[in-house]
């Protein structure tokens, strides 16, 4: 149903700004409130990947179709990635199509956050930073994570090495998860994701950086800062409740297996705006368009929580076998992400005991993927090389290098 009242959106991130752009373009009065000083400040220079394998449609074509202009931000296209197996074997997977695009998050002009901010302003939305509003006073809730299901930490550095991407499955360096290396135009990021809660998480990042230094000796590293944050993975009873639309990470609309969430953030923001404009029913469309992917990812996460390096190795081998057969590495990874009847069945079986209800969710029936406990195998001593990485970072930090996360920050 079309409405003439001003729309208030909580959160000027990707989902909130996408919704604001669509609504303001349609002539509605839109106010976006963000507690931070600017869009993208949550991430502060982090590189993230816009995946392009979970469906046949190219994400940038989707963006254009929805009325967003991908040329507003810098995106570097990749057709290949180094796949690092848990036993340190390095292979390459590639595709004739765009496999993914790397974008920067943050407050610099070329970031995706600032691109979406410009689109919202251009469309006529009013943005209010350092503005604290109540959830009850907003129609769209787009404020990112509330709880913690997993965390990721990374070090950003200067390098002379050409653009390069590596993705590593290794249960020691990235418990239950993966680490990655991204180099774009002289700036690098080495990041590790922890799907099990650890004390002294720096240990994992230091060891991961030491690993990359050893196996990619031609990469020079001059650390600039450390970044990171938490991811919130929830299933909600309703995505539209008490007159409010829950979009992006606030609605738990992310990939539970590996944490990809930007595509669904923009998508859900767009759908919420379309509902307000009377063009669809948000609840119905989220369930039809997004939930099959979310449920598949819950099933995938359930399986991931039960395995370690032996299965990671099996996955890497299967991926490379499929790459050889088809000449396209996107097919195997795409299959992993796409809804299948057996994943839906597994979701039905496992989600009741895998997710824990959130008592603070204003009676919305939110169930969260808990941050799992560490395993015995997560306790190990840092190597000498990792200690050197820690010392190097310490000296950068003492001369002004910033860490934009704490164990509890988002």
Ligand X SMILES: Cc1cc2nc3c(=O)[nH]c(=O)nc-3n(C[C@H](O)[C@H](O)[C@H](O)COP(=O)(O)OP(=O)(O)OC[C@H]3O[C@@H](n4cnc5c(N)ncnc54)[C@H](O)[C@@H]3O)c2cc1C
Segment near ligand X (CB under 6 A); pick from 197-205, 260-268, 285-293, 372-380: 260-268
> What is the Cα–Cα distance from 169 to 93, expressed in whole angstroms?
14
Residues 104, 155, 202, 249: which binds ligand X (CB under 6 A)?
Answer: 249
Give the angle 177-157-399 at the CA atoms, nearest 5°: 120
Residue from the set 228, 252, 329, 334 that interacts with ligand X by CB under 6 A: 228
Which among 147, 54, 123, 68 has a CA at the least distance from the CA of 364? 147
Q: Output the smallest distance, CB 253 to ligand X, in A.
A: 8
- The least CB distance from residue 120 to ligand X, in Å, is 12
Ranges within 136-175 binding ligand X (CB under 6 A): 142-144, 152
| 114: contact with ligand X by CB under 6 A | no
N-to-C CA span, the chain: 34
d(CA 129, CA 340): 42
By CB under 6 A, tell whether 261 contacts ligand X. Answer: yes
> Does residue 272 contact residue 19 with C-beta atoms inside 8 Å?
yes
Name the residue among 89, 372, 138 with its Cα closest to residue 250.
138
Establish if 252 lies at the interface with ligand X (CB under 6 A).
Answer: no
Q: Which of 204, 239, 245, 260 binds ligand X (CB under 6 A)?
A: 260
* Interface pick for ligand X out of 1, 8, 20, 42 (rule CB under 6 A): 42
Indicate the residue whose CB is closest to ligand X.
13
Per CB under 6 A, the list member of 231, 252, 329, 334 interacting with ligand X is 231
Q: Does 15 bind ligand X (CB under 6 A)?
A: yes
Residue of 39, 54, 192, 404 that binds ligand X (CB under 6 A): 39
Q: Is 285 in the site for ligand X (CB under 6 A)?
A: no
Question: Is 265 among the residues that bind ligand X (CB under 6 A)?
Answer: yes
Q: Is 49 in the site for ligand X (CB under 6 A)?
A: yes
CB of 324 to ligand X, least distance (A): 27
Of 152 and 291, which has the nearer Cβ to ligand X?
152
Q: CB within 8 A of 34, min separation 6: which ones?
A: 11, 12, 13, 16, 127, 128, 129, 130, 131, 143
Backbone angles phi, psi at 331, to 5 degrees: -65, -50
36 binds ligand X (CB under 6 A): yes
Identify the residue among 262, 298, 336, 361 touching ligand X (CB under 6 A): 262
Instruction: Tell whether residue 13 is a contact of ligand X (CB under 6 A).
Output: yes
184 contacts ligand X (rule: CB under 6 A): no
Which residues, 6+ apart, have CB-to-CB distance to 180 below 8 Å?
165, 166, 167, 168, 189, 190, 191
The SS3 of residue 141 is strand
Q: In angstroms, what CA-CA distances link 61 with 4, 119, 279?
A: 30, 17, 20
Q: Report if residue 115 touches ligand X, rule: CB under 6 A.
A: no
Q: Total binding residues for ligand X by CB under 6 A?
A: 34
Total residues belonging to the chain: 410
Told to check if 35 binds ligand X by CB under 6 A, we report yes
Nearest Cα neighbor of 36 from 117, 123, 154 is 117
Interface with ligand X by CB under 6 A: which range of 31-39, 155-163, 294-302, 317-325? 31-39
The phi and psi torsions of 66 (rounded to 5 degrees) equal -80, -5
- Binding residues for ligand X, per CB under 6 A? 10-16, 33-36, 39, 42, 46, 48-49, 142-144, 152, 228-231, 248-250, 254, 259-263, 265
């Amino acid at each position: 149903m079309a409405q003439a009242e001003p729309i208030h959106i909580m959160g000027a991130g990707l989902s909130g700004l996408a919704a604001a752009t669509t609504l303001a373009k349609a002539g509605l009065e839109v106010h976006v409130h963000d507690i931070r000083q600017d869009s993208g400040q949550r991430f502060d220079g982090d590189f993230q990947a816009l995946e392009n394998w979970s469906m046949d449609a190219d994400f940038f074509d989707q963006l254009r179709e929805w009325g967003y202009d991908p040329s507003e931000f810098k995106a570097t296209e990749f057709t290949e990635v180094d796949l690092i197996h848990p036993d340190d074997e390095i292979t390459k997977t590639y595709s004739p199509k765009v496999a993914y695009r790397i974008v920067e998050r943050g407050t610099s002009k070329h970031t995706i956050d600032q691109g979406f901010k410009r689109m919202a302003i251009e469309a006529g939305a009013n943005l209010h930073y350092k503005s604290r509003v109540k959830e009850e006073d907003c129609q769209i809730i787009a404020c990112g994570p509330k709880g913690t299901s997993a965390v990721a930490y990374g070090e950003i550095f200067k390098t002379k090495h050409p653009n390069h991407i590596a993705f590593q499955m290794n249960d020691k360096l990235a418990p239950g998860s993966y680490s990655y290396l991204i180099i774009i135009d002289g700036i690098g990021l080495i990041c590790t994701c922890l799907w099990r809660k650890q004390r002294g998480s720096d240990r994992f990042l230091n060891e991961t950086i030491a690993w990359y230094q050893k196996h990619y000796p031609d990469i020079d590293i001059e650390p600039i800062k450390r970044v990171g944050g938490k991811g919130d993975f929830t299933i909600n009873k309703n995505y539209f409740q008490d007159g409010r639309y829950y979009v992006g990470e606030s609605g738990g609309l992310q990939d539970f297996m590996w944490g990809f969430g930007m595509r669904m953030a923009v998508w859900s923001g767009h759908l919420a705006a379309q509902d307000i404009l009377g063009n669809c029913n948000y609840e119905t469309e989220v369930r039809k368009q997004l939930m099959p992917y979310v449920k598949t990812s819950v099933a995938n996460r359930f399986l991931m929580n039960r395995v370690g390096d032996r299965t990671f190795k099996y996955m890497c081998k299967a991926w490379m076998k499929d790459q050889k057969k088809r000449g396209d590495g996107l097919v195997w990874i795409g299959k992993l992400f796409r809804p299948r009847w057996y994943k839906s069945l597994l979701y039905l079986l496992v989600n009741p005991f895998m997710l824990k209800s959130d008592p603070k969710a204003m009676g919305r029936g939110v169930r969260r993927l808990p941050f799992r406990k560490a395993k015995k195998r997560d306790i190990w001593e840092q190597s000498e090389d990792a200690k050197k990485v820690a010392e190097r970072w310490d000296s950068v930090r003492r001369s002004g290098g910033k860490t934009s996360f704490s164990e509890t920050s988002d």
